[in-house]
Structure 1
Amino acid sequence: MKTKHTKLVALATTIILGTTACKKFTDLSPISEATTANAYKTAQDAEAALVGTYETFRSQQYYIWDNTIMSDVVSDNYYAGGDDVNIIAIDKLNFSPTNPRFLTTWSSLYNAILKANLVIEKVALIQDPKLDINNRRNQIIGEALFLRAYHYYQLVTLFGGVPIITAPVTSTQPEATNVPRATEEQTYGQIIKDLEQALPLVPDTYPGDASISKARATKGAVNSLLAKAYAQKPTKDYNKVLQYCNAVITSPAGYVLVPNYDFLFDGAHYNNSESIMEAQFTGTTGGNGNYGPSLLLPPSITIDTWRKFVVPSKDLVAAFDAAGDNVRKNATVKFESAPWVDEYWNNTINSSIPFAWKWRNKSGWDNSTSRQYMFRLADIILLKAEAMNELGQPIADVRTVLQEVRGRVGLGPVAAANQAAMRTAILNERRLELAQEAQRWNDLKRFGVAVQTMNNLNEIDLRTNTKTNYNATTAKLLYPIPQQELDRNKSLTPNPL
């Protein structure tokens, strides 16, 4: 796998911006390895810098597939598969600060944050009057504020409170780069502040076809992240969650559920009416394709015989079966014989095992157009149902909202008769709807059942015929701060292990 062990201090003097599908809305090449002193002079420079800020979603390993590892594989949804000892360790909840996946994630997210910081600061100072046509300057700043908040949201849900950096790093001296951790609450506070500032600056939609509005920060995306932040933060505010969910659901952008659940993932219906934001992999050369599907798909598609990653768990498949949910099961899981031994499904070669199926297009090693949804409407509807339930609204009303999602896949209303039963039903619905979409670990943590869920799993390793013991603890709800960052920044404090 490609890894980028970028240090924060290395970002003080240069910013590397690559091409992105967002180039479609600017028709510009991004600034390449330009120093910050001379890179921000014109409106064209501002647009190019913004393009490079969006590029993170298509270039960084975390957004390509490590977010799935750190939310779905770590949970009860998927096994590691493959042969990467670092991913297997995450699957088994054997966390270590020296696991390189954590450093790669930490570094790439801060790389993205510092790109956004440069745009926010430098674009405000550009003298080019073209930037003030149609209020474009403020719109660019609003987009960058959203992007910074999005990356901080990833960091805080993974690691807890983190160093908050809101300006370009102008010195490599320790006093400038060794920033202590903010608290988790303070980190969410910064996220919400950025989003509240961004909200009036970005539009509901952008001119042009759907791929433009789905690629960029819109009011729908900002409101979606505000809803998630208020739900996930330590001091939850479900009134705010409900407010921002409703803003998405009633948006002038006109988000509606697609009628066929499978359309979301078949590769022919991206940028659909349900999509709020998604990375725009076009499958062309020059970094515009996605290599993630090649790591997950079965041999009949990849045309190779090496063991694949992100294997659906027996517990996940059983959850689909228990719900009678064949529509979402068949869109999420594909069974096929595999020329290797899978220790959980069948301890023999060429037995049938499940493969992760929401990314289906391979088209060469790294030219796939398959993608993740950053936000889609069904997620927000389910979050609305959660907020209503937590606020004690009538169960019948919560059931009606939940049924909007269930009805699409032919399921009837849930029978939950009280708040506790409805809470369990909503969590299960989110699992079935959003598997492989990097939501499960945050859901389990938010509902307060992550430790219990992992320790109650009955996953049998067929090689030894023994139950896998995950030894989940509250300390393991957060990933370790990378050891390399602890060594470099003496102001950091580690997470408990």
Structure 2
Amino acid sequence: MINKIKFKVICMAVAGLSLTACEDKLDIEPRGSISPEAVTPSDTEVLLNGVYDGFQGGASSYQYLAFLTDDLSADNLAYRATFFQHGEVDDNAIAANNLLIQFYWQGLYQGIYRANFFLQTVEPLDESTFSRPERKQEVIAEARFLRAYGYYNLVTRWGGVPILREPTSDKVARNSEEEVWNFIIEDLTFAVENAGEFRSAAYASKAAAKALLARVYLATKNYAEAERLAEELIADSNFQLSDNYDNIFTNKGNAEHIFQLNSTPNDGTSMSYFLIANVVLPSTGQQTNGGRFELPIDNSLAAAFEAGDERKNTTLQPITFGGRDYNMAYKYRQSADGADAWPVARIAEMYLISAEARAEQNDLEGALERLNQVREMRGLEATDAASLAELRLKIEQERRVELAVEGHRWYDLIRTGRAIEVLPNVTDENQLKYPIPQAEIVVNDLLEPNPGY
């Protein structure tokens, strides 16, 4: 399924155990190794770090696509220059041989492979030999959460994909989209029941599993469960809406964060490198730590903010670059440093999930309550809606400006049936799914391409 992935030993141990690094992040043949039979409970924390690393970018040089394709496929980011593959994503005309989409697919499956190898290695260990007997189930739950997160990214881009429950290099056919969603729910339900309590947004926890499961239930139209889980998190004293939107993205410890993928200058995501220009900001007079500025903010997003919305100056900054005026994405500012954290789940999203779930259960008053709590915290007046249809559009708008450049907009428009109506270059249902990479079909003749490719 993934070309030349042969994890005879666990490549993710490289980062944690200081073994010889894998020479190529796509064709993985590790030269340094740790035998699965030699793993002890004391090794599991280090190995688990390798699973996290896989999903934050360690599995692929282009894993930043996991963070940016959603907003680029939608109307939050635009293509400016250089890599025509980005242009295909922006135009919603992706070729099956698009290398960046291929690397995205492979990076996600390599992260899933790391999770599966970890699970296969840890599950036989005696729980009594861990630091705490319950720690065995906790680390298994963290790995299953990360695997579910990987499959969430796959199913929302490609639809039905092969489900792998164990590490294998065998050819595997695609499962149905419904089967993938059910697999995600299975993993996340286990994580809700078995993961540890929240200690930091850098680690998967019961709260993180609830947040992702609430999102999944919203996508699969189980509105009662989506509301229940979102409301449990809203009531959790570990999390609260921030009265300083900018601080959410400049402070990894901000109480809005339920789960995030952290990066350091040594393992930066490269994601912000493609967003930030090397310019003096007109608003502050300060020089940015710029990269190649491949993907500016789409003009329609810049126009979507209401007057007085405190989120706008954090989300974007007007700049002049190469003699032209642009709006530059500004939530992630480390750029060449690469130390930004990617917010996977925030408490503001839970308010908006609760609002949408309540609306779909005809509790318009309760929906407006949660929607307006977010608006008022961002410097806006409360809004009202005379009908469910009007309220749906207001929630859609609020999700767009609150969660911009956080990987939600594209699938929001798909799951609500609004993509063709909103996006001018999406005119065909087939465009709502990415092409299965041609390179994967070549090595796995069991893979069926998506319609239209």
- Contact 1:227 1:242 survives alignment (8 Å): yes
Q: What is the one-letter code of the residue matched to 1:154?
A: N
- Contact 1:11 1:111 survives alignment (8 Å): no
Q: Aligned pair in 2 of structure 1 residues 128, 226: CA closer, same or farther (>3 Å)?
A: closer
Q: What is the one-letter code of the residue matched to 1:272?
A: N
The TM-score normalised by the length of structure 1 is 0.82
| Mapped pair 1:368 → 2:363 | no
SS at match of 2:64: helix
SS at match of 1:179: coil
Q: Aligned pair in 2 of structure 1 residues 129, 31: CA closer, same or farther (>3 Å)?
A: farther
2:211 to 207, 219, 224: 224
1:466 maps to what in 2? Answer: none
Identity among equivalent positions (%) equals 30
SS at match of 1:55: helix
1:89 maps to what in 2? Answer: 88
Q: Aligned pair in 2 of structure 1 residues 302, 427: CA closer, same or farther (>3 Å)?
A: same
2:332 to 329, 336, 359: 359
1:106 maps to what in 2? Answer: 105
Question: Aligned partners of 1:490, 1:48: CA distance in 2, in Å?
Answer: 36
Q: What is the one-letter code of the residue matched to 2:53?
A: E
Q: Aligned pair in 2 of structure 1 residues 44, 264: CA closer, same or farther (>3 Å)?
A: same
Q: Aligned pair in 2 of structure 1 residues 438, 40: CA closer, same or farther (>3 Å)?
A: farther
Q: What is the one-letter code of the residue matched to 1:67?
A: A
SS at match of 1:405: helix
1:464 maps to what in 2? Answer: none
| Mapped pair 1:16 → 2:11 | yes
| Mapped pair 1:484 → 2:439 | yes
Question: Aligned partners of 1:356, 1:428: CA distance in 2, in Å?
Answer: 18
- Contact 1:16 1:31 survives alignment (8 Å): no
1:391 maps to what in 2? Answer: 361
| Mapped pair 1:319 → 2:304 | yes
Question: Aligned partners of 1:62, 1:161: CA distance in 2, in Å?
Answer: 25
1:293 maps to what in 2? Answer: 272
| Mapped pair 1:274 → 2:269 | no
Q: How does 1:410-425 map onto structure 2 within 5 Å?
A: 410-425=379-394
1:3 maps to what in 2? Answer: none
| Mapped pair 1:194 → 2:194 | no
2:121 maps to what in 1? Answer: 122
Q: CA deviation at 1:127?
A: 4.3
Question: Aligned partners of 2:37, 2:76: CA distance in 1, in Å?
Answer: 45
Q: What is the one-letter code of the residue matched to 2:367?
A: V
Q: Aligned pair in 2 of structure 1 residues 229, 334: CA closer, same or farther (>3 Å)?
A: same
Question: Aligned partners of 1:303, 1:62: CA distance in 2, in Å?
Answer: 20
Question: Aligned partners of 2:384, 2:179: CA distance in 1, in Å?
Answer: 39
1:474 maps to what in 2? Answer: 429
Q: Aligned pair in 2 of structure 1 residues 118, 31: CA closer, same or farther (>3 Å)?
A: farther
Q: Which runs of 5+ in 2 are unaligned?
A: 22-29, 280-286
SS at match of 1:310: coil
Q: What is the one-letter code of the residue matched to 1:263?
A: N
- Contact 2:19 2:33 survives alignment (8 Å): no
- Contact 2:145 2:204 survives alignment (8 Å): yes
Q: 1:107-156: CA deviations, max 9, x gaps?
A: 11111111111121221212484326241111111111111111011111
Q: CA deviation at 1:302?
A: 5.2
2:295 to 304, 310, 327: 310
- Contact 2:68 2:405 survives alignment (8 Å): no
Question: Aligned partners of 2:41, 2:408: CA distance in 1, in Å?
Answer: 37
2:403 maps to what in 1? Answer: 434
Q: CA deviation at 1:369?
A: 2.0
Q: Aligned pair in 2 of structure 1 residues 73, 38: CA closer, same or farther (>3 Å)?
A: closer
2:320 maps to what in 1? Answer: 337
Q: Aligned pair in 2 of structure 1 residues 111, 402: CA closer, same or farther (>3 Å)?
A: same
SS at match of 2:258: strand
- Contact 2:79 2:296 survives alignment (8 Å): yes
| Mapped pair 1:493 → 2:451 | no
SS at match of 2:310: helix
Q: 1:284-318: CA deviations, max 9, x gaps?
A: x3x2x3432222212224577x8612211121111
- Contact 2:13 2:33 survives alignment (8 Å): no
Q: Aligned pair in 2 of structure 1 residues 128, 244: CA closer, same or farther (>3 Å)?
A: closer
Question: Aligned partners of 1:421, 1:295: CA distance in 2, in Å?
Answer: 36
Aligned residue pairs: how many?
435
The TM-score normalised by the length of structure 2 is 0.90
Question: Aligned partners of 2:351, 2:195: CA distance in 1, in Å?
Answer: 22
Q: Aligned pair in 2 of structure 1 residues 154, 64: CA closer, same or farther (>3 Å)?
A: same
- Contact 2:63 2:103 survives alignment (8 Å): no
Q: Aligned pair in 2 of structure 1 residues 490, 351: CA closer, same or farther (>3 Å)?
A: closer
Q: What is the one-letter code of the residue matched to 1:256?
A: Q
1:401 maps to what in 2? Answer: 370
SS at match of 1:337: strand
Q: CA deviation at 1:9?
A: 4.4
Q: CA deviation at 1:389?
A: 0.3
CA RMSD after TM alignment: 2.3
Q: 1:379-414: CA deviations, max 9, x gaps?
A: 111111000001111x22211110111001111111
Q: How does 1:196-215 map onto structure 2 within 5 Å?
A: 196-206=189-199, 213-215=200-202
SS at match of 1:118: helix
Q: CA deviation at 1:73?
A: 1.0
